Chain A
Amino acid sequence: MKRIGLKIAILAIVASAAPVWAGDGESIGVRNCTWCHGTSGQGYMVAPRLAGQRPQYIESQIRSFREHTRDNPFSKQYMWGAVAALGPYEARNLAIYFATIAPKAANDGDRDLAARGRTIYLDGIPEANIVSCYACHGPDAEGVRDIPRLGGLAYIYLKGRLEQWGQGYHSGPASPMPMVASHLGPDEIEALASYLSFVR
């Protein structure tokens, strides 16, 4: 009797420590994300793809929504509330969950602008003080640490984000992106967003 009791106690401890979505199917936490971010976190309309995103980036963005430092209209309207009840532990588990799903490229940019976008991505436009994206986001736009993957994100999302930085909206603290984006004109933003939507 004593033994059975002990075994049940151990089982209970093990079960409660495991992430809630360890079983088959999506947990409620994951479903709350995929409701907007699409099946398997592949993104939908303005809600960006989470699949294949860098886990440290997802965590840092959840933090910036919680602390209200990421302040564009959709962030305020949806994400500030959505993450309000997420603690750091839940945030990390969600980040790891979505990071391990293979991303699909959105492929929804203007193909005619992709070559120009690629040139800006790799070389920047030094004459106009536009920096190379590649220096931080990597050769395949895959990101690193808390620097996000850009490859395969939807055109409308990429374009919106680049425009918003130029309009004075913020991301996390200490991000160089407002400075980077302030030098980009509409044509350059469309070219970059087009190119990146095709990168896998």
Chain B
Amino acid sequence: MAGLRTILRLTLPTAILALAFSTPGHAQDRAAAARQGGLEAKLEYCKTCHGLSGQGYMGYFPMPRLAGQQPEYIEAQLRAFIERRRTNPIMFNVAHVLSPSMLTALATHFRGLNPKPFGGAPRGSLSTGKRIFEDGLPEANVPACSACHGTEGHGQNEIPRLAGQLYAYTVGQLTGWRKERGQGSAVDTSAIMAPTAHNLTRSQIEAVAAYVSYLQ
């Protein structure tokens, strides 16, 4: 009996303490928690812009799909933002505070997500897009996308997944490749895509971007 009383005496204040700490957090408390780091908090931060399941989001700018993306590609791009080989003021700010281990953990997380494609791309030239994706445009020196990005557009290692990517994002990247990627003198794998992006016309870019946006 005395033992039980001792237990009660010890546990009651603990229970009260626990209750006090579990009251709904104010924004400030949560910001303080976020400042301490933590993978979950950082993932929530990524998904605020890139969609709750990483499916991408249309803000003022298109935020690319990260779901199912190759971890090596995500990591390579985050490093490119930090080193300003890929110019993007928003993503520089986001990436430069990430520790190397956090960067790897984030990149790995998105591989496991598989939401439906964001959708919304025009469907008028999907057959042209499919042809470019599967066969390329030999007369214009455009290799088949599938040769490197895989027959289903899932990518591998540093070669990104294209399947389900936001139409507006892919169009934006292919039309402005050299303005954003491969900056500075450092070696960058993005150079591989530069001639291909250059050789595609605007309407061919739109066709292939629409096609890959619907790939699952």
Contact = CB atoms under 8 A, between A and B. Distances in A.
Whether A and B are associated in the same complex: the answer reads yes
Contact of B60 (A122, A137, A179, A183): A137
B35 interface: yes
A172 interface: no
B27 A176 contact: no
Contacts, number: 78
A59 B41 CA distance: 33
Interface residues of B, number: 27
Nearest to B93: A123
B59 A181 contact: no
B63 interface: yes
A186 B35 contact: no
A147 B60 contact: yes
A182 B27 contact: yes
Contacts of A131: 45, 48-49
Contact size range, A: 20 to 34
Interface of A: 122-124, 126-132, 134-139, 143-145, 147, 166, 168, 176, 179-186, 188-189
13 contacts: A122-B89, A128-B34, A129-B41, A131-B45, A137-B60, A139-B60, A145-B58, A168-B24, A176-B52, A176-B57, A182-B27, A183-B31, A185-B27
The 9 closest A-B pairs by CB, nearest first: A136-B59, A129-B45, A138-B60, A129-B34, A166-B27, A185-B28, A126-B97, A123-B93, A131-B48
A181 B34 CA distance: 13
B90 interface: yes
A135 B27 CA distance: 21
Contacts of B5: none
Given A145-B58, A176-B57, A185-B28, A135 B63 contact: yes
